[in-house]
Amino acid sequence: MGIFKRFLVLTLAVTLLAGCGKTSEADSSKPETLDDKVDAIVNSMSLAEKVGQMVMIGVHGTEINDDSRYMLNQYHIGGVIFFDRNLQSAEQTKKFTADLQAQAGKVPLFIAIDEEGGPVARGRDFIEVPPAAQSLGQGGDNTKAEAWAQKTGAYLKELGINVNFAPVADVGTNLREYAADGQTVAKFVAAAAQGYESAHEIYTLKHFPGIGRGTVDSHFERSEIPATKDELLAQDLVPFKEIIANHSPENFMVMISHLVYPALDKNHTASLSAEIQTKLLRQELGFNGVIITDSLEMGAVSKYGDFRSLGVQAVQAGADIALVCHEYPHETDVYLGLLEAAEKGVISEERINESVKRIVKMKLLHKS
C-alpha cells in the first residue's frame, strides 16, 4: 500500500473512532427524566422498604423518641400523621418534622395533618384556624376558599408538614361541607385546590365517593349510603370528577371512606372495595394518583376485620397507602400483614411497584 493510501486509511479510522466517542458522550449526557429517577429509586428498594412506603402512621409525643424512631427504621414507614398530641408550638413542630425527616429512607416522608378549618383543626394555639367549609360556602365567595388554602398550605409547608387532609369534597349540610349541591361544592373545592397548589402543598380530596349523605359516624360503626349510582354521579361525585379532570394527579391524594355504597358494592366498605377504588375511581374517573384510606382503626372497618388483613384488603382493592393513626401495635400489624402478603405473592410485587412509584413521584415533586 502506498503512503497516500495508508494516510487515507489512518484518517478514516481516526474519524470513525472520534465519531463513536461523540455518540457515546451524547448518549451518556442525555438528561434523566423524573420517571427515570422514580424507577431507579423503586428498583433500589427491598420489598420491605416498598411496603413501608405504603403505610402512614400516627406517632406519640412532641419529639422523636425510641418508639417513633423504631417504627420508621424497622418498618421503613413512609408517612406520619400529626395530631394535637404532637403539636406544642411552631418551633417545636419544625424541629419535630426535621428530626422525623432525618430518619427517612431513600425518599422523604409524607408528614400529614387534618387542617380543614372550623371544627376539624389541629394546633390551634399557633396555626390560624380557617373558617368552616360551610361558612365559606354560605358566603358564596370561592376566592376566600382559595386564599385560605394558600395561606394554610404555605404555613404548613413552613412547619415541615407537606400533606393536608383537606379540602372536604363531600356534598351535604355538615359544618365540614361547603354546600348541599355538587356544583357549588365543586366550585369551592376547585378554588381550594388552586390555593394549595400555589403553596406547593399536597392536598387531599375526601371522603370518596362522598359521605355527605351519611348519618352514622364511621369512627364508631359501619353504615350504608342508599343512593343509586346515577344519584352519586349527579351530586356526590361531581367535586371529585372536577378536580380529577382538571388538575395534575401528582398534586393531590384521594382519601377513601369507610361507608358502604350498595349501588356500587353491597359487600364492602369503599376502603375495601375494588369496585369503588379500581373500577370507579381509577378506570371510570381516570384517577392515576395516590389513593389513601381513612384510618383503618375506625370502627366501621376495625370491628369487622383484624389489622393484619385490613391493609391487605385495602391494597387489593386499589389503595396505595394504608392510614393507621394511633396505636403502634395496630400500625405494626398492618405493615407486617402487607409484607407477608407481598412475600407470599398474595399481592404481586408488580402491584406493590405501581403504588410505590406513584408515592415516590409525588414525594420527589414536592421535596422543596
- The CB density around residue 223, as the number of other CB atoms within 10 Å, is 18
Separation between Cα atoms, residue 241 and residue 246, nearest integer Å: 9
Report CA-CA distances (Å) from 323 to 4, 59, 165, 244, 291. 77, 12, 12, 22, 10
* 57, containing H or E segment: strand 55-58
47 alpha carbon, distance to own chain's centre? 20
- Residue 266 sits at φ, ψ, to 5 deg, of -80, -10
* 147, containing H or E segment: helix 142-159
Separation between Cα atoms, residue 287 and residue 277, nearest integer Å: 10
Decide if 300 contacts 221 (C-beta within 8 A).
Answer: yes
Separation between Cα atoms, residue 328 and residue 58, nearest integer Å: 8
Q: How do beta strands 55-58 and 79-82 pair?
A: parallel
DSSP 235: I
- The CB density around residue 125, as the number of other CB atoms within 10 Å, is 9
- Catalytic residue numbers read 294
The DSSP string of 64-133 is: --HHHHHHHHHS---EEEE-GGG-S-HHHHHHHHHHHHTT--SSPPEEEE---BTTB-S-TTTSPPPPPH
* Interaxial angle between packed helices 90-101 and 142-159, expressed in degrees from 0 to 180 and rounded to the nearest 10: 70
Separation between Cα atoms, residue 277 and residue 256, nearest integer Å: 8
